[in-house]
A and B are shown apart, each in its own frame.
Chain A
């Protein structure tokens, strides 16, 4: 059978450095191949460079519908892109031109391969096909009026409008809410099956493409380490890296992890409410958190799980006195906690946060040792060099990193520095705000291991904010599910995952499988 898209010995160089080496690939019509790897594995460069969409220089062989891609000029490549390929990108929020209506975007997509100008009904039908309601109204709107999920659906409608032979989707669901990912991925696969389109799917997350892809290719540092039919690769990974990758991702099935014993009541938050002014010119306020009540005991890990905009981070920041809090009370070890502007050092020292973006949460101009020492400097009576090195050692950071600055650290190292900083005042509780979701699977797995060890060794309580039930299950005793600012469901981790009571929880469970 002839393939729609084929590489033989593809190599991509950026500034003289090889980022992809000897990659072979063939996709038949109607087939879906997934390219999986961590950031820096070269998975995106391997398709962007041959199409001339990145500064990378491709060599070797790349064939699209019988035409060579390598060595062609920009005019040829843009003609080939327009005619035969549809692209879906990771960034639905920014991939549409802000000053053009949805209709203008779709029209451009329909005519890009030389097709006739479509009428309104055709455009509306194209929107309906990708699951957008009220398509007639949407056509008139500008992209900023649409939600992230809707924009990604528009991108998909544009990608298939000119009946391409090949669809390339680079992390098409990563930027979407957990509850939407499955649905969008299923829609993509269905569209491909229905139209006999070939699909190249690029992802960092093995689990998210496992259902969609017929075949898997695992890449690492620019090289293919494993490939084969999806089922075989997942059941019997042939390479050590493939095994690590499969084992690192937290799962909802499998035996429940051991969780340490729980002590006395540590933190109690009652009827917390937070509201923000509506963005833009609209009047009124948006209730981000409404009447949220929760408790955390010594040594207990509690997860707050929800989609984006559910209010989970806002709630955690209100409790930690790091964000606005309109109403409600928080007590710490039985005593009321003063509001944000009056909180005392001794109270601050008891609970410390770790944020999502590890590099951004460290002052770029400070040395690692100073960063780690900062809480002790303000909240305690200072700290010795030995103490800093001990905290670093506890978080598996080498002493030589003490003089580095944040931009010289890897993502995993930066997050360990943030954890070491949080531990320097010897707190009773850590507040983890999506602390592992910006990290690669393997790195995130090791940071979760570190947190589990700290939890065990230090009797540390954890308040964990995450969109991922599987991550929550790895550490937490109990789970709260939030939606639209309210706590809609809570319970012991295993039973909540086994028998979810609300639709939102059921979607979250489904998204994590």
Chain B
């Protein structure tokens, strides 16, 4: 098992390098410069700025330097937020994004598995059909519609919760963004749980367990649930990534000081180190989530352990 994890970690290094290389080259070949402001800079100032940030060097040298710094945990300076390094920005924004994304993932998995189980206990009954239709509706709700609509209803009209803001992570401020972010994934998890269980319940080992007198919840919990959750686990890795990146919109809607806001600002202003740093960080996080999902998969299904 440990060997497998190490192998997978090693195998992810080329992927990560490829991501960095691709983003780096793409950004450098893009027209425009971070120093294009309201009025054109005079050439001397421009050259001085380029030299200060190393932009006058050939691209391979820039890349090499960047990687060297990266290896020391240094993401470089931000070109737009002049007083901060990218590391500072990540330091301040990542906890916010991780809190929102992590809570959303937990609610999506918890709520989704619960609803999926509720639906499958009476297959094709009214509860099942009603739940599955609402879950389909949930999966189709774009966060940038649900976010404002939730804020409109619960904050502006009913006044139960604050409209926006962070307030150092006070729970009242977290409810709406987490909910808006979690709902689509919750629908997807519920549907996967339902479909996975329905499929497993048809299998031979379930019939054999029923023949031995196992019924109802004991049958599901003991013999069906673990194999049935395999599709949920496969989904959870990419879903975690989706929740992280999906937080970009939620952070905009609810004015949260997360990383997503910096990405959009950085992209619009050609802040190369900032965008590159965040893309690299997120790629690493996604690889990590997928690895965790694979480990969980191995626990659920001994066959893949070999």
**A and B touching (Cβ–Cβ under 8 A):** yes
Residue contact A53 to B211, C-beta cutoff 8 Å: yes
Quick check: A82 and B212 within 8 Å, CB to CB?
A: yes
Which residues of A from 55 to 104 have beta carbons under 8 Å from B? 74-75, 78-79, 81-83, 85, 87, 89, 91, 94-100
**Cβ–Cβ contact B226 & A82, under 8 A:** no
Across the interface, do B211 and A87 meet the contact criterion of CB distance under 8 Å?
yes
Q: Hey, which chain B residues are within 8 Å of A98, CB to CB?
A: 205, 227, 301-303
Is there contact, CB below 8 Å, between A79 and B213?
yes
Name the CB-closest residue of B to A168: B211
Q: Given A97-B223, A98-B227, A98-B302, answer yes or no on A81-B211 (Cβ-Cβ < 8 Å).
A: yes
A95 to chain B, nearest CB (A): 4
Measured in the bound complex, the distance between the Cα atoms of B302 and A81 in whole Å is 29
Most B-side CB within 10 Å, residue of A74, A78, A91, A113: A78
Once the chains are docked, how many angstroms separate the CA of A53 from the CA of B209?
10
Q: How far is the CA of A204 from the CA of B72 in the complex (A)?
A: 71
Check A155 against B208 for contact (C-beta < 8 Å). Answer: yes
B292-306 residues with Cβ-Cβ distance < 8 A to A are 300-303, 306
B208 touches A95 (CB 8 A): yes
Q: A74-B215, A99-B301, A280-B306 are in contact. Are A94 and B210 (CB under 8 A)?
A: no
B207→A78 contact, CB < 8 A:
no
Residue in B closest to A89 when the chains form the complex, CB atoms:
B208
A78 & B209 in contact (Cβ 8 Å cutoff) = no
> In the complex, A51→B210 CA distance in Å?
10
CB distance from A75 to the nearest CB of B (A): 7
Q: How many angstroms from the CA of A281 to the CA of B302 in the assembled complex?
A: 13
Please name all residues of chain B whose beta carbon is closer than 8 Å to the beta carbon of A75 when the two chains form the complex.
215
Residue-wise interface mask of B (219-238) relative to A, using a CB-CB cutoff of 8 A (1 in contact, 0 not) = 00011001100000000000
CA distance A251 to B82 in the complex (A): 91
Given contact pairs A75-B215, A91-B204, A144 touches B302 in the complex (Cβ within 8 A): yes
**Interface of chain A, helix or strand or loop or mixed?**
loop
Interface size class of A (residues with CB under 8 A): 20 to 34
CA–CA, A94 to B200, complex, Å? 11
Could you tell me the distance in whole angstroms from the C-beta of B234 to the nearest C-beta in chain A? 16
B300 nearest CB neighbor, chain A only: A99
Contact of A81 among B4, B203, B204, B213 (CB under 8 A): B213
Most buried by B among A83, A98, A109, A144: A98
What is the bound-complex CA distance between A510 and B74, given in angstroms?
Answer: 75
The smallest beta-carbon distance between A312 and chain B, in angstroms, is 27
Chain A residues with CB under 8 Å of B214's CB are: 78, 82, 108, 112
> Chain B: interface residue count, which band?
20 to 34
Q: How far is the CA of A83 from the CA of B211 in the complex (A)?
A: 10
Q: Which residues of chain A have C-beta atoms less than 8 A from B204's C-beta?
A: 89, 91, 94-95
- Which residues of the partner chain B approach A53 to less than 8 Å between Cβ atoms? 207, 210-211
Shortest distance in angstroms between A32's beta carbon and chain B's nearest beta carbon? Answer: 19
Q: Mark A115-144, 1 if CB is under 8 A from B, else 0.
A: 000000000000000000000000000101
Report whether A82 and B213 are in contact in the complex, using a CB–CB cutoff of 8 Å. yes
Complex Cα distance, B209 from A94, in Å, reads 12
Min C-beta distance of B145 to chain A, whole Å: 40
On chain A, the residues within 8 Å of B207 by CB distance are 53, 89, 95
- Nearest chain A residue, comparing its CB with the CB of B226: A99
SS class, residues of chain B in contact with chain A: helix
Complex: chain A residue closest to B203, CB-CB: A94
A98 to B212, alpha carbons, bound, how many Å? 16
- Chain B residue nearest to A282 (CB atoms) is B306
A1 to chain B, nearest CB (A): 27
In the assembled complex, the CB of B219 is this many whole angstroms from the nearest CB of chain A, namely 9
- Considering only residues 230-289 of chain A, those with a C-beta below 8 Å from chain B are 280-282
Q: Which residues of B contact A97 (CB under 8 A)?
A: 205, 209, 222-223, 227
**B301 CB → nearest A CB, Å:** 6
A78 in contact with B213 (CB, 8 Å): yes
Q: Is the CB of A83 within 8 A of B205?
A: no
Which A residues touch B4, using CB under 8 A?
A: 281
Which residue of A has the minimal Cβ distance to B3? Answer: A281
Contact in complex: A51, B215 (CB < 8 Å): no
Asked, given contacts A53-B207, A89-B207, A95-B204, whether A109 binds B212 with beta carbons under 8 Å apart, the answer is yes
Hey, which chain A residues are within 8 Å of B223, CB to CB?
97, 100
User: B211 to A99, Cβ gap below 8 A?
Assistant: no
Taken together as a complex, chains A and B put the C-alpha atoms of A98 and B301 apart, in Å, by: 7
A88 to chain B, nearest CB (A): 9
Q: A158 near B: Cβ within 8 Å?
A: yes
> Chain B residues with Cβ under 8 A from A109's Cβ?
212
Q: How far is the CA of A91 from the CA of B211 in the complex (A)?
A: 14
Alpha-carbon gap, A87 to B306, bound state (A) = 29
Given A53-B210, A97-B209, A144-B303, the answer on whether A78 and B227 have CB atoms closer than 8 Å is no
Q: Which residues of B contact A281 (CB under 8 A)?
A: 4, 306
A62 to B294, CA, bound (A): 49
CB distance from B300 to the nearest CB of A (A): 6
Q: Give, as a whole number of angstroms, the nearest-CB distance from B233 to chain A.
A: 13
Residue from the list B203, B212, B301, B303 in contact with A158, Cβ < 8 A: B212
Chain A CB count within 10 A is highest, among B4, B205, B300, for: B205
Identify 14 residue pairs between A and B in the complex whose beta-carbon atoms are under 8 Å apart, listed by A's number.
Answer: A51-B211, A78-B210, A78-B213, A81-B213, A82-B212, A87-B211, A96-B205, A96-B208, A98-B302, A99-B227, A99-B300, A108-B212, A113-B213, A142-B302
Task: Give 16 A-B pairs besides A91-B204, A112-B212 with Cβ atoms closer than 8 angstroms.
Answer: A53-B207, A53-B210, A87-B211, A89-B204, A95-B204, A95-B208, A97-B222, A98-B302, A99-B226, A99-B227, A108-B222, A109-B212, A112-B213, A144-B302, A280-B306, A281-B4
Nearest 4 interchain pairs by C-beta: A82-B213, A94-B204, A142-B302, A87-B211
